Structures are given as C-alpha cells and as structure tokens.
Amino acid sequence: MEHRRFEADVRQILHLVTHSLYSDREIFLRELVSNASDALDKARFIGLQRDDLRSVEGDPSIRIECDADAGTITIEDDGIGLTADEASEHLGTIARSGTSAFADALKEKGENPDALIGQFGVGFYSAFMVAEEVTVESCSALPDSESIVWKSDGGEGYELTKGSREKRGTAITLKLRDDAKEFADNDALRTIVRKHSDFVPWPITIEDAQVNRAKAIWAQSPSEVSEEDYTDLYKHVSMDWQEPLTRIHIRAEGTLQFNAILFVPQSRPWQLDRLDYKVGVQLFQKGVKVLDHADNIVPRFLRFVTGVVDSPDLDLNVSREILQQTPIVQAIRKQLTKKLLKHLAAEAKKEDDNIYDQFWTEFGHILKEGIAEDAGNSKELLVELLRFETTQSDGATISLQDLKEGMEEGQEALWYYTSVDKDRIHSAPVLEGFKKRDWEVLLMTDPVDEWVAMSVPEYDGTPLKSVLTGELPEDEADDDETKKAKDEARPLITWMGELLSTDVAEVRMSSRLTDSPSVLVDKEGAMGSNMERILKAANQQVGPGAQRVLEINPNHALVQTLARLNNDGAAGLEPFARLLLDHASIAEGKLDDPQGFAGRLQALMAKAADSMGA
C-alpha cells in the first residue's frame, strides 16, 4: 500500500470542485465517460500497431451501473487501462488538455470557477463534485502489466495498491456524497448520458441496454443528419455550450476520400491567443480516433475551427507527428480550406441574417493572417472575405467588391488609410481631399492590416493605394484662384524645404487638404509611419525614424499670408514655418519636440499680444 500526496495544482482544483456550488454537477458523468471513450480509442489505435495487447471478450463498450442502496455508481470500460506508473502520473498530477486548461483559466483570468467547470469540465477530478470517495480499478492492456487500485477521498492524497482486476480496462466506482445520492438511479443516468454523451463512438450500456447512438454522423448523408445531431456533435468536440455559428459537412468520394464536419464557433474560444492553444479538429480513420487535435488539418488562420475529419486513406504506419505531414493529409487540408472559405463567402452573400458579420467581428482578425502569410494559396478566396469600415460606411463594414463598385468618376485606385489610431482616423487631415472628391476610403485600423495592404496590391485589376503615400491626382481644373495661390506659395515651400531638411524628407504642395494648413504623409517606398508605430509598440528595432513628407495647403489663409510675407522678403518667418510642421504632428496625435513647440508658441503669442497693444 502506498499513500501519495496530490500535486499542489490538483489539491487546488479538488478544493474548488468539492466546495463548488456548481449546479450542473451531472457533467461528472460526461467527463468520466469521455475518459473511458478516449481509453477505448487509444486501445484500438495501439492495437492497429501491435498485436500483443490483452484482448477483450465481446465488443468493447462502456458500462454504467449503480446501486441505490449502497449509493454507488460504477463506470467501466474495456480501454487501454492504467499501469501503476500511469495512475500516479495521470491521477495525481494535472496531465493535459481539459483539466490543465481549467487550471490555467483560473490562474490567468481569476474567473468564477463555477462557470468554468461547466465550460471545460475538470476531467477526472469532477467525480469529486458528487463522490466522497473514488476508487479506480484498472488493468492495463499492455502485456505483463499488473492491475492496480487507486483510491481517494479528494482531500490531500490517494492510495495506490495492487489490484485483482483481470480484464483489460478500468472500472471507476464513486461512493456518492449524501447530497448527491439522486444520481444512483438508472433513469437519471440514462438521461444524463443521452444529454451529454450521445456521440461517444462506443456503446454505453445501462442495465445491459445501449443508451447512446454511437454513430459517426459524418459518414452519413447530410440529409439524414438532424440539426440536433450536428449541435450535439459540436458540443461534444468543442466543449462549447453555445450552438455553432455555422458548419459544413463534406463527403469527398473521388480519388481523395474523406468525410468531414467542420464548425465555426459563435465566439472566440478564450484560449485562442495562447501559444499552446490546441486546434479543435479531431482526426479519425474509419471511425477510429487517431488525433484529438489535428493542428495541421486546417491552416493556422482557421485555428478557431472545430470538428471531425475521417479518412480511410490515412497512413497509420507513421508516427502521429509525421502523419500530419503526409501528402494525403496535405491534400485534405487543401480541400477543407477551399470548401470552408467558399462556404463563408456564401454566408457573406446572404442578406437575411448577420452570420457573416458576427463571423467577421470574431474571427476576421485571424483570417487576415492568412492573407499576410498567403498560407496555402488561399489569398484569392480570402480577399473576397475581407471587410472594412470606410469613411462613408457609418460604422458598417464593406467588401473590396463593394468599394470598387462605388468608385467615382476619375478615381483610378481603391484608397485605404492604415492607422491604428481609431479615435482620430475619421478626422485625419489626409482624408480631406478624399472627402471633398466624395471618394470612399477604407479605414484599416488593425495592426495586421499593414501586412494585408502590402499583400494585396490590387483588387480585380484596380490598384490599392495608401492615402498616406499615394499622391492624390490634382483636381483637373484648378480654378484661377487656386492656380494663383499655388504660384504664390511655391517660393515659400521651396524655402521651407531647405529650412526643414533635417526634419522631413520633403516639403511639397498638397492637393489633399481643404481645411488644414499642413499635413504629414509617408514617403513612397519608405517604411510607413503606422508600421513604425506598430513595430515600436511590439518593441521591435525600427532603425532611423520613418522619413515623412510635409504637405502644405496653398488655399489656407495662414499659408497665403505666410507666402505673401515671404514673397515680400519679410524676416522672422521661421517660427511660423516650424509651427506648420508642429501642427501636422499634433493632428496625428503626436509631437516629437514639445519643448521646441512650447517655445515657438510663446514667442508667437508674445508677438500677437504685442501687435494687439499697438
């Protein structure tokens, strides 16, 4: 007999579980049945590779029994079982997947554990929500292993002893707490199994009758599968409690054979941004689960997708790591990607619901990674799925196709404005000329949009141009007044170019301004200011600052006065010229030289006050 202490993490979880007020305690059964099913999957999978496993009499199954008088429930399976080492490793520490995600969620988010229990389950340990004592009797399927008994009251530790079980598999007996005796009832157990475990691919029996459907609905024709079946499968594979947002069911029967059901969740799984996030697509071969998290069966930009993929052609003679690199898996991945993106495009076309809008809000950001990386040659399909707000869309999002259809006479490019500064983007001076011409401009406020813009130089034959670098064509017919203003301003601009040569790359006449005297734009071919900002925010080295171009509005009263004074040979214009640069910086929400600015402003105010007195 051996007493062992639980690891600290386990003790913490057990404490939460035993003291939780969680009302849906019945999920303990889902968790234990799911473990039993995994154990059967593993045994079948390993059995394909070696033939010396302990065999099973009859068909492998999961059996649930209860004894109302004794207040016990037993869940028994013919799975892979546990050796003594495995028992102390898996039932004394936090091994993997479900339970460790729960522990992390608690640590990271400090969320209400009651809510989290339902969302993730807490694996094996959830048995202690209803049991005051749990006994695990197991005989590993591996030859020459000895059977074990593991027993615990869910407190500090557990006992591990030699057992007498001779059949391969595991029997878990729960001695129910006084407040959970109602679970020792066959009807109640049947209801719970149907509710949570209907899709478990192994027969689950209660009183010798099978309770669950245990069928691979992905192998059925979609017309035979009910909405409820799909939702149940979704909940089974994703552990989500909501319905899926949308799904596709593919049955490929050509040279490449596979069945697949893929789901898009309604909202982002909270773990999605974590490095160790595991893709939720399960891989099967003829109904045998081969991988729980087939992270290579969909590209990374679809990592929020869950579901199942089943192909008879998978090569099981290779390791699980290499399996995902095989040509067959690569080919399936390509098809799945294409089909899913086309499905999303079809959703986007529908106007009677807002599924696509919801999709884009939740996952658009991730989808864009696919464009930036051009993963799997899906760029063309992805470009059609892009949605952005614009200067005219009033908060709604539109596609590049919409933007193109709305082009005005004389507009030869699709214009976009990348800026992570969401608050100021609508009022930015660079947009003034576009507003005047009534040209719609895409507003790209997501950092990844910089990369999207670089990767999409044109759409359907029309170039995409940045309002920050592309020179806006001059209004064809400058009226006489503007012509005169430009002529007047030219010497001022040349002089300012020399004066500010260390501050900016160039000073030039602007045709994009209506209300502001000056604006800063990016130099074509150089790193953009938005990109610089993003890289700096990510603590990246950016080298010497991005070189900007200062544009001057010849129609602005202030500029006109300065131009006249300059043309008259007036001295002392330098602070004004520099203030035009300050002004453009402030309009962007940043000022590189606040002290210099304050000095210049003071000098000017003194002058102004002086002239008022005069």
Question: Least distance from C-beta 87 to ligand ADP, angstroms?
Answer: 8
Cβ neighbours of 441 (radius 10 Å):
23
Distance CA 346, CA 306 (A): 19
Residue placing its CB nearer to ligand ADP in the complex, 20 or 99: 99
Residue placing its CB nearer to ligand ADP in the complex, 104 or 506: 104
Distance CA 476, CA 204 (A): 78
Binding site residues, ligand ADP, CB under 6 A: 31, 35-36, 39, 77, 79-82, 90-91, 95-99, 123-125, 170
Instruction: List, in sequence order, the alpha helices (H) in 126-226.
Output: 186-196
Residue placing its CB nearer to ligand ADP in the complex, 123 or 280: 123
Residue placing its CB nearer to ligand ADP in the complex, 97 or 411: 97
Residue placing its CB nearer to ligand ADP in the complex, 96 or 109: 96
Question: Least distance from C-beta 4 to ligand ADP, angstroms?
Answer: 15
Question: Least distance from C-beta 167 to ligand ADP, angstroms?
Answer: 13
Residue placing its CB nearer to ligand ADP in the complex, 123 or 265: 123
**295 contacts 367 by C-beta, under 8 angstroms:** no
Q: What are the residues whose beta carbons fall under 8 Å from the beta carbon of 24, sequence distance 6 or more? A: 117, 118
Cβ neighbours of 573 (radius 10 Å):
16
Cβ neighbours of 276 (radius 10 Å):
8
Distance CA 82, CA 169 (A): 8
Question: Least distance from C-beta 96 to ligand ADP, angstroms?
Answer: 5
C-alpha separations of 131 from 124, 135, 184, 188 in Å: 12, 10, 11, 16
Question: Least distance from C-beta 291 to ligand ADP, angstroms?
Answer: 14
Question: Least distance from C-beta 35 to ligand ADP, angstroms?
Answer: 3
Question: Least distance from C-beta 67 to ligand ADP, angstroms?
Answer: 20
- The residue with its CB nearest to ligand ADP is 123
Residue placing its CB nearer to ligand ADP in the complex, 81 or 528: 81
Question: Least distance from C-beta 209 to ligand ADP, angstroms?
Answer: 21
Residue placing its CB nearer to ligand ADP in the complex, 141 or 314: 141
78 phi, psi to nearest 5 deg? -105, 35
258 phi, psi to nearest 5 deg? -165, 160
